[in-house]
Amino acid sequence: MAVSMHMSLATGRNDGRLAEMNEAIDIRLIEGRQRVEDMRRLAAGEVTPEQLQRENAIVQSAADILKVDFLPKGTDEQWARIISDLERD
């Protein structure tokens, strides 16, 4: 069935309505399939254990971690003026 240009593929076959899901999604099954694929890629030499670890990590790289420096900035004179202004208000 051809879908007209103004209809999305998701709604094209149901008179503009989205189809309801008939079954619950088993997340553990999906995870298991991914693990099998990971093991296949390792065995085939497509990835190294280190590459696979990086791919599956929640934090992908050190660049994703922001180190925030909470040390005070400015000179003693600047801080004295800021504190004085705060105490005055």
Q: Where are the domains of the chain?
A: 24-59
Q: How many CA atoms lie within 13 A of 85 on its CB side?
A: 6
DSSP 8-state secondary structure symbol assigned to residue 56 = H
pLDDT of residue 45: 94
Cα separation, 4 vs 15, whole angstroms: 12
pTM summary value:
0.39
pLDDT per position as a tens digit, 28-81: 887 888 889 999 999 999 999 989 888 887 666 656 666 777 787 888 898 899
Which comes out higher in pLDDT, residue 7 or 86? 86
